[in-house]
Chains A and B, each alone.
Chain A
Amino acid sequence: MKRRPQTVAEKVLARASGRDNVMPGELLEVRPDFTYSHDYAVFAIDAFEQMGARSVVAPDRNAIGLDHGFPVNNARDANNHARVRRFAKQHKFCAFFEGGTGIAHQVMMEKGLVLPGALVLASDSHTPSGGAVGALAIGIGETELGFIWATGRTWLKVPDTIRVNLTGSLPRGVAAKDAMLTLIGRLGVLGASYKAIEYQGAAVPLLSVSERFTFCNMSAEVGAKAGFFPADEVTEAFVRGRARFPYDPVRSDADAVYSEQVALDLSALEPMVVLPGREDQAIPVTEAAGKRIDQVFIGSCTNARADDLAIAARILRNRRVHPDVRLLVVPASRTVELESSRNGDLAILLEAGATLLPSGCAVCAGAHQGVLADGEVCLSTSNRNMPGRMGNKKAEIMLCSPATAAASAAAGVVTDARAFDDILS
């Protein structure tokens, strides 16, 4: 009998459940290849202990990286961090990354723990980021993570897959972030709910792992279960020399079945700004230009890698952050911070008047640093802008690319970076 053609999501889930073939809609019991968590691991520890579990199944495939609130600013969080450190050590997790190493999604990829073709589960909604290297990476809750530690398994539904066909190439001054904000505007915040998004098309070989990360990361903003770029030569070049585990890259069969096809011509795009309130409210920067801002945040797992800081530095070289604006820069990881430090980009940003915070979630986690005052507006390279996301419901958040963030920080209002033509050429 001819085997039914399979998508990446179906292939990975079939393997993780010990099956040859699975169908969208089926509920499976799966064994993940790798799981990770962050500060909220403390709730997984609670669950694990309350279930009466004593040992972690496959600790060699579990890691934790503290990122949400480091360095801590109160005793309660300090005690939680201490508990997480002890647990990771006691159960011999394959890795524990101290606060300051970076945002877990970024770090797990840099350190070769999230790999092509792997089923990765982590207790955070931006877990789909791992699709940047071709992993099927899915967010789960903290109690569920505790259950996986205790039993080695959980249940997942096989998702339908939406195929997004990326064609053309990004025009000057337009970033992967602008493409993703355009796509989110088109699909809506539930547009890919419960589904996987597979990014394909002629433009894909031209996109770096960092750019792919931005797409996969914000796949969460259309409700997707996972978003991924099937592994190719770009993936292999990134993963080679880092991989901590054996891995098996998978690609969809040519005749695999998709629930929906979406075309996005990158050549036709322009820089976008998402208006406050909801992630699917993007408008061209030209229509948002001149809007007041109080804080600019260049950070988060979406857009704070070395290429993001490089474009910000190119724009802010020989310029100053506007006196009415605060610019917070938070590299996605210490590795990024080192690279941007060595190549001089961080020095340029500091000279321009940026404040540098330790690598981590910072402003985007909404409970730790950079909280806004009533009525203030933050222009951010992060991924979410619903009311209260940055810790104050009475403040507003707009989303954009690092280029738009940097240009706006200099101008003091929302600004089209393409106006700074000298540096984008």
Chain B
Amino acid sequence: MAARKPAEQGVRRERKSVNAVIEGEATVLGDYISADTVLPARWSFVPPDEMAEHVLEEAGPQVNPKIKSRAIIVAGEAFGYGTGRESPARALRAAGIKAIVGGPFGRMFFRNAINNGILVVDCPAVLGCGIADGDTIVIDLDASRVRWKEQAFEIAPVAPIIRNIIAAGSLIDYGRAVMAARDGAPA
């Protein structure tokens, strides 16, 4: 218990405006894509590279190559609902996804994606406004805004703990910093 506070402060200090802006090309996906569709259970135990080859392949014939070549997904309602397996989120990370915008999202998928360093932003307003595959999306965390072309969409401020995990790279990286700070702190 005594070592807890210094450890936390150690991590909080790392929170600069790293990753305050995430920008990239988007792949636009539809509604009600379950986490089982993002990555079926049978691929849960394969290495990350192999997961990346299968992520979202069941969402449509051309979806997987697009996911691998663009950093952002604009996802429809209920994206990631259902199973709480983490492998769908790990697969998206392996495919190079940095952020997912849209939703609302399945709760466990939301947490799993963040814990794998993928920022998930609840912003249903982006759906149906005409964003096309390949368009550039900008997520500005300090301004709490998602931008597309001339339009800006307000988002709820992203919680400090989520920003810390994303800034660290993943929950594993965040946890490594917590453990290192704890081990280094006076008892």
Contact = CB atoms under 8 A, between A and B. Distances in A.
B36 A147 contact: no
Nearest to B174: A147
B159 interface: yes
B84 A144 contact: no
A95 interface: no
B55 interface: no
Contact of A143 (B36, B77, B78, B116): B116
Interface in A379-414: 384, 386-389, 391, 393
B161 A27 contact: yes
Contacts of A50: 172, 175-176
Contacts of A40: 44, 85-86
A-B CB proximity, top 6 nearest = A125-B84, A51-B175, A141-B112, A367-B41, A141-B86, A386-B34
Classify the secondary structure of A's interface with B: loop
Given A143-B86, A143-B172, A51 B41 contact: no
Interface stretch (B67-75, B100-108, B135-143): B100-108
Contact of B40 (A80, A141, A150, A388): A388
A246 interface: no
Contacts of A52: 176, 179-180, 183
A207 interface: no
Contacts of B44: 40, 367
Nearest to B107: A194
A294 B57 CA distance: 27
A290 to B, nearest CB: 27
B121 interface: no
Interface residues of B, number: 41
Interface of B: 32, 34, 36-37, 40-42, 44-45, 58, 77-78, 81-87, 89, 104, 106-108, 111-112, 115-116, 159, 161, 170-172, 174-176, 178-180, 182-183
Contacts of B41: 365-367, 391
B58 A141 contact: no
A47 to B, nearest CB: 5
A223 interface: yes
Contact of B111 (A144, A278, A386, A387): A144
B42 A366 contact: yes
B40 A47 contact: no
Contact of B175 (A139, A150, A386, A391): A150
A424 to B, nearest CB: 33
